[in-house]
Amino acid sequence: MERNCPKPRLALMIGVVASLMVGSALAADSEPTVSFQRQVLPILQEHCVMCHAPGAVGYQSVSFDARSYKGVRAGSAAGVAVIPYHPDRSPLMRVLDHAWKTNDEKALRMPPLGPQLSPDELKVISDWIKQGAKDN
């Protein structure tokens, strides 16, 4: 009688286990999709729109309009606010986060009178940029 050779089956099992592990690693890595309208905009409405809308000081000085996707993507007089897929290079994350972590007193921080946005709020905005800053 021919004995079942265990090797191919073992290889198959290792393959299955390995692909399951890779699959779950990828799943753990990818954040749930962030919605601009449902998650990002409410943060801006709460902390930014009082100054960044026509007639208010932030809009008057740098024309950054925080009321809409279009406004955020249009950026400010200083240039773009968001570089899709690159939160670390986005001026928006600079004023919201990095500037708060430097000792440079002249670093522009938003909101200027504080407090800094919460870690959860920063993560929502950063993930949204990381996912391509989509109009979703």
For ligand HEC, what does the binding mask look like between residues 36 and 75, x meaning CB under 6 A? Answer: -----------xx-xxx----xx--xx-x-x---------
The yes or no reply on residue 84 touching ligand HEC (CB under 6 A) is no
Least distance in Å: CB of 134 to ligand HEC? Answer: 18
Select the residue interacting with ligand HEC from 93, 110, 129, 133 (CB under 6 A). 110
Extract the tokens encoding 27: 């799943």
Interface segment toward ligand HEC; rule CB under 6 A; list 12-20, 23-31, 32-40, 89-97: 89-97
Select the residue interacting with ligand HEC from 36, 71, 76, 133 (CB under 6 A). 76
Nearer to ligand HEC, 28 or 113 (CB): 113
3-state SS of the chain is CCCCCHHHHHHHHHHHHHHHHHHHHHHHHCCCCCCHHHHHHHHHHHHCCCCCCCCCHHHHHHCCCCCCHHHHHHCECCECCCCCCCHHHCHHHHHHCHHHHCCCCCCCCCCCCCCCCCHHHHHHHHHHHHCCCCCC
Select the residue interacting with ligand HEC from 111, 122, 123, 127 (CB under 6 A). 111
d(CA 33, CA 71): 21
Contacts with ligand HEC, residue ranges (CB under 6 A): 47-48, 50-52, 57-58, 61-62, 64, 66, 76, 78, 81, 91-92, 95-96, 108, 110-113, 117
